[in-house]
Amino acid sequence: MDKKSKAKRIVVLICAAAIVFAVVLAFGKYTGKKRTISPDEIADFKVEYMSYGGMEGVDIDITLEPSPDGNAVLTYRETSYVGGENKDESYTVPYEALERVKALYAERGVPFWGELPLSEFIALDAPTRAVIFWADGERTELSSDLELPKEGAGIINEVRSILNEYRK
């Protein structure tokens, strides 16, 4: 076998190995194999829920983040762009609220979802609802305009429900 044939054979073997590796990664991601992390593995965490656009004429922003006193701070902002009253409220809530959202984030495997495609079904007159997670410096945004994986079904509403439970 000459040098040129050996080089071609090596290139083919490397390409085949790369393809097998990519298929194995994709198979693990798309076969429903649940990948999760422990909430304890996340040191720094905060979350933001947003609802904006649509025909209601109101943007809502709810942020939950740790406070230095060992509790958490929940900030609720409601902005009307059709002449209604704006709200800006802040609450000290138990740290448990943040732990509940962090557990949801970790147990659903959100850090492993990667970049999500846009949904084919976007209602142009409906508000966009989104959740932004910050975990150890990494930002992950989920939106009603994206095609969420099956383990993500309902996660935006679940986060909103948890945050609203702690709003006085």
Amino acid symbol at 137: G
- 141-152 residue pLDDT tens: 888 776 777 777
What is the domain extent for residue 114? Answer: 39-165
Q: Is 33 exposed, middle or buried (0-12, 13-18, 19+ CB in 10 A)?
A: exposed
Token pair listed for 10: 């090596």
Report whether 128 contacts 54 (CB < 8 A): yes
- 64-116 residue pLDDT tens: 999 999 999 999 999 998 877 899 999 999 999 999 999 998 888 877 777 77
Report whether 116 contacts 142 (CB < 8 A): yes
Read off the CATH number of the domain in which 103 is found: 3.30.1560.10
Q: Supply the DSSP symbol for 91.
A: E
Does one domain contain both 26 and 96? no
Does one domain contain both 138 and 84? yes
Does one domain contain both 118 and 68? yes
Total domain count, the chain: 2
Q: Where are the beta strands (DSSP E) in the chain?
A: 45-52, 58-66, 72-80, 87-93, 128-135, 138-143
Does one domain contain both 12 and 89? no
Token pair listed for 103: 């557990």
Token pair listed for 160: 């909103």
Does one domain contain both 4 and 62? no
Does one domain contain both 75 and 133? yes
Does one domain contain both 80 and 106? yes
The distance in angstroms from the start CA to the end CA of the chain is 78
- 16-66 residue pLDDT tens: 555 656 555 554 544 445 577 778 788 899 999 999 887 778 899 999 999
Angle made by CA atoms 53, 46, 160, in degrees to the nearest 5: 45
Q: Is the pTM value of this prediction over 0.85?
A: no
Does one domain contain both 146 and 106? yes
Does one domain contain both 66 and 124? yes
Does one domain contain both 51 and 86? yes
Does one domain contain both 132 and 117? yes
Q: How confident is the prediction for the chain on average, in pLDDT? A: 81
